[in-house]
Amino acid sequence: MKFRVLVLLLVTAIFLLTACGGIKDPHKWPVSDFTYTDQNGEPFGLQDLKGKIWVADLIFTNCEDVCLPMTANMKKLQDETKKEGIENIQFVSFSVDPEVDKPQVLHDYGNKFSADYSNWHFLTGYNQSDIEEFALETFKTWVKKPEAGDQVIHGTSFYLVDGEGKVMKDYTGLAEIPMEQIIKDIKSLQ
């Protein structure tokens, strides 16, 4: 019994120590290659992001709950990176409802949040099964559009991707996002 408690304490201590300072998250998995269509109807893909740090999320425009605060938080992050003078940063929002979210719909949605399209791309141009597979493979999260209803089930994280196209870390994209930590982690990758 004492041995089990000791092992549990040791594992907990290791976990806590690795969670402090810098990016020491065990992610580092590669983003699957992609070329989709952005809010301007232009092709945009992984090659366009080569050598750039980027933050991604999964949203859809007729979402009734989590996507609005997520997109507002992404806008805050975009503004904060500008304020901090961070360059070479991109933001990518993948639609999880591509049949509804055509380029113009995404453009209108981004306008509601005053998105700066110079470094924020809202993507569509794939079918539902493609985004479900892409999200699972790339971001290790579920996306599922039920047969009944129009609300898509999806993850609510922000994903930090390095210039080599590897997911380095993820954060909550909802209330109380760790803005300071995300900024610190972005800077550590530059």
| Model pTM score | 0.85
Residue 14 covered by a domain: no
Residue 30 covered by a domain: no
Question: In terms of residue numbers, what domain contains 185?
Answer: 42-189
Residue 22 covered by a domain: no
- Known binding residue 154? Answer is yes
The answer for 11, left when phi > 0, alpha when psi is -120 to 50, beta otherwise, is alpha
Tell me if 128 sits within 8 A of 94, measured CB to CB. no
CA distance 43 to 61: 20
Instruction: Tell me the per-residue pLDDT of 46-85, one tens digit each, with 9 for 90 and over.
Output: 999 999 999 999 999 999 999 999 999 999 999 999 999 9
Residue 166 covered by a domain: yes
Residue 80 covered by a domain: yes
What is the rounded average pLDDT of the residues 89-96?
A: 98
CA distance 2 to 97: 52
As a whole number of Å, the CA-based R_g of the chain is 18
pLDDT of residue 158: 97
Residue 64 covered by a domain: yes
- Known binding residue 20? Answer is no
What is the rounded average pLDDT of the residues 146-167?
A: 95
What residue spans of the chain are helical by DSSP H? 2-18, 46-49, 67-83, 103-112, 128-139, 179-189
Total domains, the chain: 1
pLDDT of residue 176: 86
CATH number for the domain spanning 84: value is 3.40.30.10
What is the rounded average pLDDT of the residues 155-178?
A: 94
Instruction: Tell me the per-residue pLDDT of 93-146, one tens digit each, with 9 for 90 and over.
Output: 999 999 999 999 999 999 999 999 999 999 999 999 999 999 999 999 999 999
Residue 128 covered by a domain: yes
Tell me if 84 sits within 8 A of 183, measured CB to CB. yes
- Known binding residue 63? Answer is yes
Residue 162 covered by a domain: yes
CA dist 129 → 101, 125, 143, 165 (Å): 15, 12, 9, 22
